[in-house]
Structure 1
């Protein structure tokens, strides 16, 4: 049990830093142990105890599974002198570590959620250091939307993509380009998604340019697309603005893969679909005048439809689709004749 001045110090610091007293006590003990090792040039592990009589210091050695403690030959005056120094120097470092660890554990639970922060620094490579309050995170250049720029003091909303430790130090990575960022924004904006009435089944994005979202409703009578888009597009427009004007197509999910592909290629209107399940590939026929619409500028529309459905999609004009079908029939007939001759 810690008594007297040390107890008061621990209580005061715990209150100031909003940390549990046990954490502060451990930090103080670590700080004193580090300072003693440095001052006395000791290599062995040191353990510090707080008693009614004062601070006790032991060297610690292990023999098998046993931990052996030996009192350190050091005067109380020396211990107090070093402890006073440690309280000023090492203790602050240890407290910082304790606060960082608590922040790490708290944010580990928020992994995959949206967080808010303030830009603290912009690095030369374009990465952004974001202050999340208790801990810093990094928004890498690759996870920023095209054309975005930041300066210290800017507010940031992002997905907490990953929380891990690298060489013992916490590393929090943010993203504004990940498909789940759009999914979480939809959850924030659409109460019916939060309540579980509407489910976001799939999301595909080309960050900053365009996205496709497939949604489904538990009740068939519900119009999930209309609900997600909002009256006059207000809900989806708000999300689009957060994503730098990214255009968002919302379609209704279908368990029928051919129908899902058909919907995913909107605004084009596919007329025929041929599936190759073993290749997870589809050939889709659209009217000649809709060919460029189905493919999209720089192939974006068909690329997003492929990402959304998980199938490779080849878009053809109706004329070419039918020619290819006829060619395959002839090939099959030819193979049949060969088999008969054999």
Structure 2
């Protein structure tokens, strides 16, 4: 009996392009369901295919109790299960296979089509082999979608939910920007230029810390490309998100100055004990240094790991005199 079932598993796995272990699990589940129906059992039933026999256990209070079923009865139940319940279980196994493929793609970019917009703003996205969700919180705030729109997104994670799987997408995660850069800039993909850190205010601004394996090569120029040809498509994909590229350096003063670009820093005071930095900028450049809603300085804090206090040149001097 079991030998026949093993052959059935191999055949179905080959025909349906489903891993044998998934087919076997589907078959065992279908036999267990058939036994429960036949004997009107409410407890959980576990089935094992061992050598030349089918072993059935009743799970009761954490214990596996063998369930005695004569071979003739088992043959009848197994035959019924293979015809009726097995098809339903196979559908579940096939769905699981499709989602398991996406587990291996976690952290990669996929293309999809918006099929539905939920009341809470979440997008239901068709990835071809499976459906995914782009939650409202993972969408770039300024973007507006409609059914039929095509979009790129990062597979953030694949989670098991209510006995099924859910693929969660993101367009706001820093890794989405990293993957876009890898796709556009071959030097990053090949390891010649390394991305050390990425911080984002999605749709507004991002700062990317980069370094080159060859110190003679400017990694910023490499990533930007000739006349911005490499960075421009990424900015467009991110709905105009400004991307500040910063060349990594061990010099804290230099790093802080670069992180506050495009604002010019005219003076700087560093306190290593508190890891605070006070910078002076021309009064008319204060808003540029701080950025809209404080975005520029907030991202500069994150990318450098220092707390940066932006002051006008006048206030910087006054503070210096007080100290």
Q: Deviations over 1:98-149 (max 9, x none)?
A: 3344445443333222233333432111112233344433210010012323
Aligned partner (choices 285, 289, 295) of residue 284 of structure 2: 289
Verify: 1:119 aligned to 2:114, yes or no: yes
Paired position in structure 1 for 2:151: 156
CA change 1:106–1:274 in 2 (3 A) is same
CA change 1:169–1:15 in 2 (3 A) is same
Paired position in structure 2 for 1:335: none
Aligned partner (choices 308, 313, 318) of residue 313 of structure 1: 308
Verify: 1:38 aligned to 2:37, yes or no: yes
Paired position in structure 1 for 2:68: 71
Of stretches 184-193 and 152-161 in structure 1, the one that deviates more from structure 2 is 152-161
Paired position in structure 2 for 1:277: 272
Once residues 166 and 12 of structure 1 are traced to their aligned partners in structure 2, the CA distance between those partners, rounded to angstroms, is: 30
Paired position in structure 2 for 1:29: 28
Once residues 39 and 154 of structure 1 are traced to their aligned partners in structure 2, the CA distance between those partners, rounded to angstroms, is: 49
Paired position in structure 1 for 2:134: 139
Verify: 1:221 aligned to 2:216, yes or no: yes
Paired position in structure 2 for 1:107: 102
Structure 1 unaligned blocks of 5 or more: 329-342
Q: Residue 290 of structure 1: SS of its match in structure 2?
A: helix
Give how far 1:73 is off: 4.9
Structure 2 unaligned blocks of 5 or more: none
Q: Residue 229 of structure 2: SS of its match in structure 1?
A: helix
Paired position in structure 1 for 2:17: 18
After superposition, where does 1:107-256 map in structure 2 within 5 Å?
107-166=102-161, 169-256=164-251
Give how far 1:217 is off: 0.9
Give how far 1:177 is off: 0.5
Once residues 270 and 104 of structure 2 are traced to their aligned partners in structure 1, the CA distance between those partners, rounded to angstroms, is: 42
Provide runs of 4+ in structure 1 moved above 6 Å. Answer: 62-66
Once residues 141 and 63 of structure 1 are traced to their aligned partners in structure 2, the CA distance between those partners, rounded to angstroms, is: 44
Give how far 1:155 is off: 2.9
Give how far 1:210 is off: 1.6
Paired position in structure 2 for 1:60: 57
Of stretches 27-36 and 129-138 in structure 1, the one that deviates more from structure 2 is 129-138
Q: Residue 145 of structure 1: SS of its match in structure 2?
A: coil
Q: Deviations over 1:29-78 (max 9, x none)?
A: 311221220232024524265988xxx655425799996634315854x8
Q: Residue 165 of structure 2: SS of its match in structure 1?
A: strand
Q: Deviations over 1:303-333 (max 9, x none)?
A: 22122212221111112101100011xxxxx
TM-score by length of 2: 0.86
Once residues 126 and 163 of structure 2 are traced to their aligned partners in structure 1, the CA distance between those partners, rounded to angstroms, is: 20
CA change 1:190–1:276 in 2 (3 A) is same
RMSD: 3.0
CA change 1:66–1:38 in 2 (3 A) is closer
Q: Deviations over 1:151-189 (max 9, x none)?
A: 444333211222333465433321101112111111111
Of stretches 6-15 and 206-215 in structure 1, the one that deviates more from structure 2 is 6-15
Q: Deviations over 1:237-278 (max 9, x none)?
A: 100111112121222121222211100111111011112333
Given that residues 31 and 47 in structure 2 are in contact (C-alpha distance below 8 angstroms), is that contact kept between their aligned partners in structure 1?
no
TM-score by length of 1: 0.82
